[in-house]
Amino acid sequence: MGFTFQTSDRTASGIDESVLSPLLARADRAAERLDKTNFVADLTTVYALPQAPAPGTIERVAVLGIGGSAAGSRCVQEACGSILPLHVVDNIDPASLRAALDAGDPARTAWVVISKSGGTTETMAQCAVVREHLRARVGAQAGHGQTYVVTGPDGPLRALAEADDLPLFDVPVPVGGRFSVFTPAATVPLALAGVDVAKLLEGARVAARQAAEPGSASSLLAAHLVAAELSGRNVVALWAYAERLESIGEWFRQLWAESLGKVRADGTRAGQTPLHCVGSTDQHSIQQLMVEGPRDKVALVIGGPPEQGWLVPPGAGIASGHEMGAILEAMRRATSAEMVRSSCPVHTLLLDAYDPASVGALLMTFLCATVVAGELLDVDPFGQPGVEAAKRTAKALLTDPGGAMDRETAVLLGEAKKISTGM
């Protein structure tokens, strides 16, 4: 259960030991305090989970949420698989919501509405549209018994759930959305879909205990990535060498960017730009930039045991006689080696298995590394003031069209100077 962690040769990677060494010691000290930080909820607490749907009543699970309220369940389900399909709608784009409604029978869908604040604009809009659609399809009682609400202690979403007597689950108050993968924000839809949540949490507990030990994967990862940033490597590329791990890259992108992209107390700015890639597909796009572009990048590579089967028959050149999974594994090692040869540090995390316990350990390690990195960078990894500012602007645009904020926004975006290329 778990994963292995390795870092590339420091000399070949161009790592500055004078920058890295003190960070390694500081990271270990910071990790010792992780158990005093309630950033992922108390993993000893057993949170309520929904009962499994009666056989034949539900054919899929659909999540209505955005950001951390959606990314966690998606990345776990895609990495591990599930009994029922899980459809995540994490955008206000009408086409996405229409596709979700058309993808299966809405009346045989377990709809899970997730918003910690209880008033997220996008999620409340999605919820209202889905409930109206269900009423039109199956009548006034639509949603009872098949709509689940996960939210904080107050807000309009909780009021709606209580008024309609919908199954209601709590998100722990101290836990931010991007840290919520081990709370009901993710465990409720995962449990409904048939993922073994107990094993997911056990993997997380093991990783949390290990994170506090000297030289843990969390401390090493934090120290190496911060050393890279302080050495001018402002882009961290997460390469998933299995398509089932691609959504972990999306989840990590939010975690790393939103936690560490901050203005310090002295006015200086911190943060690396995360991007996620998929091997071997992006060997034919991003790899060229990684190898011969500016030396401003560091790579994280995640993978797992090569998939068995699909032996390539004769007539396919050097691929013949090899299994497809073995070819992908050779591509991973070759791509990583070429990045190191070009002085790009590479850190590799390989799952022992594509199961909930191993994925839980990996995600917890990333969470702990993020909190430790925040201390090393002297920023608060919690909160997202830049996001909140945009939410306030959007609220003003929706509630006061043509008002002062609307006019100021038009000036900032140059909307009066737009050039039409319409036909």
Q: Is there a catalytic annotation at residue 391?
A: yes
The answer to whether 246 is a known catalytic residue is no
Burial 190-199 (b: 16+ CB within 10 A, else e): bbbbbbbbeb
Are 235 and 290 spatial neighbours (Cβ–Cβ below 8 Å)? Answer: no
Q: What count of other Cβ atoms lies within 10 Å of the Cβ of residue 419? A: 5
The residue annotated as part of the active site, out of 36, 284, 417, 418, is: 284
Measured N-to-C along each axis, helices 385-399 and 404-412 cross at an angle, to the nearest 10 degrees, of: 120
- Cβ 84 vs Cβ 108: under 8 Å: no
**Annotated catalytic, 408?**
no
Residues 262 and 380 sit within 8 Å (Cβ to Cβ): yes
Q: Give Cα 17 to chain centroid, integer Å.
A: 31
3-state secondary structure of 35: helix
CA-closest candidate to residue 277, choices 297, 307, 306: 297
Q: From residue 423, give the alpha-carbon distance in Å to each of 107, 125, 358, 414, 420.
A: 42, 33, 54, 22, 9
Cα angle 50, 52, 53; round to 5: 110
Is the CB of residue 340 less than 8 Å from the CB of residue 12? yes
Catalytic-labelled residue, pool 122, 258, 329, 375: 258
Active-site entry in 162, 391, 395, 408 = 391
Helix (H) or strand (E) holding 66: none
- Measured CA to CA, the distance from residue 361 to residue 384 in angstroms comes to 25
CB 370 within 8 A of CB 381: yes
Question: How many other β-carbons are positioned within 10 Å of the β-carbon of residue 289?
Answer: 13
Cα 182 from Cα 193, distance rounded (Å): 15
The neighbouring-strand residues paired with 273 are 235
Token representation of residue 170 = 């709590």
Q: What phi-psi label fits residue 387: left (phi over 0), alpha (psi between -120 and 50 degrees) or beta?
A: alpha
User: Which positions are annotated as active-site residues?
Assistant: 258, 284, 391
